[in-house]
Structure 1
Amino acid sequence: MIRMLLRVLGDEYARAMRRTVILMTITAVVEGLSYALLVPVLRALLGGTPADAVPWLAAFGAVVALYAVLRYISDLSGMRVGTTMLRGMYHRLGEHLARLPLGWYNAGRIGEVSILASRGLLQAMGVAAHLLAPFISALVTPLTIVAVMAAFNWRIGLAASLAVPLVAVIQGWTARATAVADAERHERDTEATGRVIEYLQAQPVLRAGGRTGERFRLLDDSLREAQRASRRTVLSVLPGMIGLTLVVQAMFTVLLTLGAYLALGGSIGAAEILAILVLAARCADPLLSLSDIGGKLRGARSELARLETVLRTEPLPEPPEPIQPAHHGLEFDAVTFRYGERTVLDKVSLTVPEGQRLAVVGPSGTGKSTLLQLLARFYDVDSGAVRVGGVDVRAISTEELTARIAIVFQDVYLFDGTIEDNVRLGRPDADEVEVRAAATAARLDEVIERLPGGWATNVGEGGTLLSGGERQRVSIARALLKDAPIVLLDEVTSALDPVNEVAVHEGIERLMAGRTVVMVAHRMRTVQRADRVVFLDGGRIVEEGGHDELLDHGGRYADFWNISMAPSAQGRG
């Protein structure tokens, strides 16, 4: 457990953690040694001269005071290390998650990461603050007391030491018995969390389809399974608790019997036997607490193992010696990319000269958005190369690459904060004039004027308090403020009403001006403004050229154009 904790923490926190463990161990030893002074104290009190107990009582009081000081310092150290680690691990986990490839974030990760980042991390990092001191005390203090017993009478010490392997066996058996139950409970908890998130996100669709009852059953079933798994986890611990209690009670009975036998034989006095029984009683308390502490530590260990698994997931590698792109042209060189068993892009090659606009069209699921994601290095290609400014994106630092690219997605996500906070994400150090200018260029100023809170209006989590068109304008203003030389657009107007579509198109035109642009589009009016068009199907480029050239060719693009424009033609008729 401690080794895993130190491994997960890394060198930054491991040294402080080791110091805390050593301090807690010393404290537990001092606690055990303080009980050794009970023997001379009782011997003097029960002897012919009770006054001889005074110096021993003073020594006992001094050792207890030393223990109290050490306990305060060690507990304070554990609390400080625990809170520092928790804060540090939140930052470390967040930074690591931000560097993982998007392919890692499948649907099953939502519940898993949600649990890990909340309850899991708190439970794992709470070991130092709440569990380590009592756990070390429950192990070290009884061992010290056994050593004290052996120092006074080797036979009683030997009898007490027989409980040590029995306790170790019971703890190991309990750990193995509960491991399966803990794993099942975590799996059920993750599934239940995912179902809750799914149910909340799917409310519009479920209500429109009148299927809320069915989804309630799915959610109820997952919660019921989570409850059963928790019950099985509790039941798996009971045999160990009972076994440990029996061992401790049996040990106390053996020591009582042995002590009485030795006292009747004249080997030890009444004072010694009374002191040894007091020591045995003090030894029993921490041992009995091992069941509860052990269960909490096993839960924390499981969370630590999951945290370690996430932290060991390799992010996209950073180049040891980053190269600066010479320009802002783009190139795909025989790019192949697979998602699982499916080949999304198959030996795709194309170029986008600096300052030009490329439109990517084609049926859904043909890899159009993947082109943008590879340019932004959300993934790495399986073969071939994606180049920016003549440099493979894998040879450009992440910071440099992201600084050169502005992305506007179809589904805009806004953070829970004000409109101004979300716009400033494009460039946090921008002054007020620049922020206002970006908003005007994106026609976001029209939205701000009609909102009661203006710039201070809270957008809600994900931007839910704004309409789709309003969120899109915030996203465009953010991209304009960033002022990156490369712009990637992913079907930004496919779900907008006509009024918002016009406003967003004006913002997009300002955003694209003078920049290298790759746009994925279904709306043909967007495609017409591109310098070149590629038609993607089955992960391959089947046609490439100018808009008019491809229409005259009469191929796949022309068919796609005619189908797309048919509804508007009928509307005009």
Structure 2
Amino acid sequence: MWPARNGVSIRKRGGTFMIKLMRRLVWLFPEMRRPLSVAAAFKAVETLFMGMPYGIMILVLNDLLVGKLTTKRVIVYTLGTAFGYLGQGLFCWLFTKKAYPLGTQLCKRVRLRIGEHLRNLPMCAFSHKTAGNLAALVSEELTMLTLLPRMAFPQFISSLIFPIVLAPFLLSIDWRLALTALIPVPLAFPVLQQCRRELSKGVRQRNEAMTKVSSLVVQYVQGMEVVKGFRLAVTQFHSFAAALERSRKDNLSLVFRSTPLLMTFQFILDIGIVLLMILGAVLLLNGSISIFVWLTFLILALRMYEPIKALGPVYEITQSAEATLDRIEAILSEKPQVHGCRTLAPGPVDINFKNVSFAYDDNAVLRNISLEIPAQKVTAIVGPSGSGKTTMLRLIARFWDVDGGEICLGGVPVRELSSEALFGALSMVFQDVYLFQGTVRENIAFGSPDASDADVERAARAAHCHDFIDRLPQGYDTPVGEGGATLSGGERQRIAIARALLKDAPVVLLDEATASVDPENECQIQEAIDALVGSKTVVLVAHRLTTITQAEQIAVLDGLGNIAAIGSHEELLKSCFLYQRLWKHRKSSLSWKVGEAEAVAVDSE
């Protein structure tokens, strides 16, 4: 439900569908209220000028029929018609100048608003979103929303003004013909409302199909290596083709369901002209009206029905805009993380878990754990897969909020830190490194936009990536492709470490930084990590236990949400059965041979 102001829901307020839609738009973007109002005023005046030549035509017709048309009057009427067209052109230009930029401004504001809001959402909010879903919203669907202020709303104004202005005038001439001309309008609108309901369902189905197509495009391209490797290219392409076929059918269904209703709507209005001709002819033959009155009604009724008929196509725009607004509101209604305003004191930063509990939905991962991570020391977290190692790092970074207890950085609860203070204190290198589309230099300087070229190169050398960067076609100015696709996994890791080195934050979070790389890359990454950690507070997660044997402190998670033991490598080998088993499995994997797969698997159980 749309949020309420002063306890009143916008959707429950009075007004036509278009008025409600514009209220929702202005609610989301209050800064658009004034330019929309000015544009509406320009359109209203333009509409009045559009009717001016018809009024002059009626005067010419009257003078012609009664024999009073003179050269002087022709000149006056000609000048009046020219003035009407001039005024129409002037206010059309003023409207265009005001309304058309609103579309692009609206696009920009929606995207910035969604981007800012997504930045403040906890990571759990992204579990049900896909890249394709958001891409469809901020690209294809936004196009229809931008048509609202520059096409749909102006047409609505025109269709509203003409009946309001003409009705009193027509009634003053002949109430019988006036009622005949006006009656089809309220009779036609129930059909238009039914068309709106059909369009509403059809547009949502079409948008869902478009979203599915966008998601499959992203999935198909990003997973191409897996698709080809498992010979699923044809299967996956069939899924993509099926989604396209569904989108095609939904589009056709939308047309076939709405077109008959739109034709009925326009046919009812056309009947008004037929009725006017019949009734006018009867009254004329009976001597109740003059031929001037009859022709006046035929001319003005045609002009009155024209903008009303145009409401049919406009309704598809409004329904698409409403569906897009619903999705925008759904995203913006998700509760953002509330950050505090406290900062960290300069100097070393320790980390403290105090009775922390956390669960993904109903799956408890951490249960009331406490852990002190000393400043300027290396603390490793180990445990079976799924025991919560990566979760602990992400809770420190507040990607999620704890369900119970609290986490403190430098003695300050992370909930009370400002986002600038929290993320300014952290450098993170995760197993799945994401590089942004841009150059190598831009990716290394991502967290330090003011860094000089010399600073970037210094960090790259320390991270052991300068040599391979220097061999790239354009060196540091080489584009890395989407997600870093043009680089190997080890190269992406070292660039991520260079990025963290350049940031020079007091706390370093390393999650499987040497996983899934070859021995040569692992050695270079390990040297880069040694350069990164220095005298910082380091929290390290690694399945390869050989990489954490020198850690001052190792916390062992038992897989049930608890910390089984804390100590050094030597201490844990003597006192912790779980650590002994993990270490034994690691040694077994190092000596693993192809023919011994079954034996190692049995031993690992």
Counterpart of 1:292, as a letter, is P
**Deviation by residue 1:146-191 (Cα, 9 ceiling, x = unmatched):** 3432243333222222123223212211111222222222222222
Amino acid at match of 2:456: V
Structure 1 distance, partners of 2:161, 2:46, is 9
Amino acid at match of 2:266: T
2-side partners of 1:293 and 1:161: how far apart? Answer: 21
The answer to whether the 8 Å contact 1:366/1:538 transfers is yes
Read off the aligned partner of 1:49 and give its amino acid letter: K
C-alpha distance in 1, partners of 2:230/2:550? 39
Q: Which residue of 37, 59, 79 maps to 1:18?
A: 37
Equivalent-residue separation in structure 1 for 2:544 and 2:328 (angstroms): 44
Task: Please report how far the alpha carbon of residue 455 of structure 1 lies from its aligned counterpart in structure 2 after TM superposition.
Answer: 0.9
* Superposed CA offset, 1:477-521 (max 9, x none): 111111111111110111111111111111111111111111111
Q: SS where residue 369 of structure 2 aligns?
A: strand
Deviation at 1:145, TM superposition (A): 3.2
- Residue identity matched to 1:538: L
Corresponding residue for 2:283? 262
Partners of 1:166 and 1:556 lie apart in 2 by 79
**Match of residue 18 from structure 2:** none
| Structure 1: stretches of 5+ with no match in the other structure | none
Partner of 2:23: 3
Q: Between 557-566 and 341-350, report the one with greater CA deviation.
A: 341-350
180-189 vs 405-414, which moves further: 180-189
Q: Contact conserved, 1:38 with 1:275, CA < 8 A, in 2? A: no
Distance in structure 2 (CA, Å) of the matches to 1:64 and 1:266: 36
Task: Show the counterpart of 1:304.
Answer: 325
Which of 437, 449, 454 is the aligned partner of 2:458?
437
Shift of 1:33: 5.3
1:568 aligns with 2:587: no
Structure 2 vs 1, CA of residues 346 and 32 (structure 1 numbering), >3 Å: closer, same or farther? Answer: farther
Q: Report the Cα distance in structure 1 between the residues aligned to 2:352 and 2:169, rounded to whole angstroms.
A: 76
Is 1:75–1:133's contact at 8 Å kept on the other side of the alignment? Answer: no
**Alignment match of 1:545 (pick from 567, 579, 592):** 567
> Quick check: 1:344–1:367 contact (8 Å CA) kept in 2?
yes
The 5-angstrom pairing of residues 446-465 of structure 1 reads 446-465=467-486
Relative to structure 1, is the Cα distance of residues 436 and 400 closer, same or farther in structure 2, using a 3 angstrom cutoff? same
Distance in 2 (CA, whole Å) between partners of 1:390 and 1:443 is: 35
Which residue in 2 is equivalent to 1:31?
A: 50
TM-score, structure 1 normalization: 0.94
- The CA deviation string for residues 260-319 of structure 1, in whole angstroms up to 9 with x for no partner, is 233333343222322221112222322222211211221122112211221222211133
What is the aligned partner in structure 2 of residue 217 from structure 1? 238
Q: Distance in 1 between matches of 2:201 and 2:361?
A: 29
1:101-120 alignment to 2 at 5 Å? 101-106=122-127, 108-120=129-141
* Counterparts of 2:34 and 2:464, CA distance in 1: 54
Paired residue for 1:533? 554
What's 2:12 paired with? none
After the TM superposition, which of the residue ranges 340-349 and 48-57 deviates more from structure 2? 48-57
For residues 148 and 343 of structure 1, the distance between their equivalents in structure 2, rounded to whole angstroms, comes to 73
Q: 1:384: Cα distance to partner?
A: 1.2
1:554 Cα deviation from its structure 2 partner: 4.2
Pairing of 1:357-372 with structure 2 (within 5 A): 357-372=378-393
Structure 2 contact 141–320 (Cα < 8 Å) conserved: no
Code of the aligned partner of 2:47: A
Equivalent residues in 2 for 1:485-504 (5 A)? 485-504=506-525
Whether 1:559 aligns to 2:581 is yes
User: How much has 1:438 moved relative to structure 2?
Assistant: 0.6
1:220-255 deviations in Å (ceiling 9; x for gaps): 322222222222211221232121121111111112
Instruction: Give the Cα–Cα distance (whole angstroms) in 2 for the partners of residues 29 and 325 of structure 1.
Output: 66
Where 1:471 maps in the other structure, the secondary structure is helix
In the alignment, structure 1 residue 44 sits paired with structure 2 residue 66 = no
In the alignment, does 2:152 pair up with 1:127?
no
Is 1:59 the counterpart of 2:100? The answer is no
Match of 1:180, as an amino acid?
Answer: K
Q: AA paired with 1:207?
A: K
C-alpha contact 2:565 2:576 (8 A) present in aligned 1: no
Kept in 2, the 8 Å contact 1:8–1:304? The answer is no
User: Contact between 1:334 and 1:383, CA under 8 Å: does it hold in 2?
Assistant: yes
Please tell me whether the aligned partners of residues 41 and 57 of structure 1 are also in contact (alpha carbons under 8 angstroms). Answer: no
Q: How far did residue 559 of structure 1 move? A: 0.7
Q: Which residue type is aligned with residue 243 of structure 1?
A: T
SS at match of 1:50: coil
CA distance in 2 between partners of 1:191 and 1:325 (Å) = 48
CA-CA distance at 1:340 after TM superposition: 1.7
Aligned length: 569
Aligned residue type for 2:292: A
Between stretches 130-139 and 293-302, larger displacement belongs to: 130-139
Cα shift readout 1:191-227 (whole Å, capped 9, x = no counterpart): 2322232222222222222233332332232222222
Is the contact made by 1:325 and 1:390 (CA closer than 8 Å) also made in structure 2? Answer: no
Q: How does 1:384-395 map to 2 (within 5 A)?
A: 384-395=405-416
Kept in 2: contact 1:40–1:53 (CA 8 A) = no
Output one character per residue of 1:380-430: Cα deviation in whole Å (capped at 9) or x when no partner. Answer: 111111111111111111111111101111111111111101111020001
- The one-letter amino acid of 2:578's match is R
Change (3 A) 1:267 1:71: farther
Q: How far did residue 108 of structure 1 move?
A: 4.3
C-alpha separation in 1, matches of 2:158 and 2:540:
64
Give the match for residue 479 of structure 1. Answer: 500
Correspondence 1:72-83 to 2 at 5 A: 72-83=93-104
SS at match of 1:384: strand
Aligned to 1:424: 445
Which of the residues 242, 259, 271 maps onto 2:263? 242
Q: Which residue of 2 aligns with 1:334?
A: 355
Residues 90-123 of structure 1 deviation map (CA, whole Å, 9 limit, x = unaligned): 2222222222221111254322111001111232
Divergent runs of 4+, >4 A: none
Q: Percent identity?
A: 33
The code of the aligned residue for 1:533 comes to I
> How far 1:474 moved relative to its partner?
0.8
d(CA) in 1 for partners of 2:258 and 2:421?
53
Q: Name the CA distance, whole Å, in 1 between partners of 2:331 and 2:34.
A: 23
Which shifted more, 179-188 or 546-555? 179-188
Q: Deviations over 1:43-84 (max 9, x none)?
A: 112221211454344333323321221122112211122222
Give unmatched runs, 5+ long, in structure 2: 1-20, 594-605
Alpha carbons 1:240, 1:291 under 8 Å: kept: no
Task: Flag the 1:367–1:29 CA change in 2: closer, same or farther, 3 A.
Answer: farther
Q: Residue 543 of structure 2 is aligned with which of 492, 504, 522?
A: 522
* TM-score after normalising by structure 2: 0.90
- Code of the aligned partner of 2:531: R
Q: Give the C-alpha shift of residue 462 in structure 1.
A: 0.6
RMSD after superposition: 2.0
Structure-1 separation of matches of 2:216 and 2:67? 75
In structure 2, the CA distance between the partners of 1:269 and 1:479, relative to structure 1 (3 Å rule), is same
